[in-house]
Amino acid sequence: MKVRGIRGAITVDSNTKEEVISATKKLLKEMIDKNQVTIDDICFILFSATEDIDAAFPAQAARELGMVHVPLLDFSQMKVKGALKNCIRALMAVNTDKTQEEIKHIYLREARILRPDVSFF
């Protein structure tokens, strides 16, 4: 078994606590479902959010999904001119037997433009 990274991102329609939590839950559920991961398989999750998102921590969504023992970290996304706004990104490290090529990276809503070469949804 190896540790693999699963990338994902989603945009929010508004900077509200409800929208940030809801969007992050949607992203995490897709990452978990499409890669057949259990919570016990997750080593850690790193979340970043663009500077226009400050209503809630994305990690709160993971806690609400039952990830109470998974190490989580929120941080600010680097500010780059012209970059996608209202975006939450995640890097989930998991224990898996899958190869790199079998990992399904999840980019939802407007975030699909970030990695059209690996986006599956």
Binding site residue list: 7, 89, 107
Closest CA to 58 of 44, 47, 42, 43: 47
State the Cα–Cα distance between residues 83 and 95, nearest whole angstrom. 31
- Binding-site residue numbers for prephenate are 7, 89, 107
What sign does the dihedral 104-120-81-86 (CA atoms) show? negative
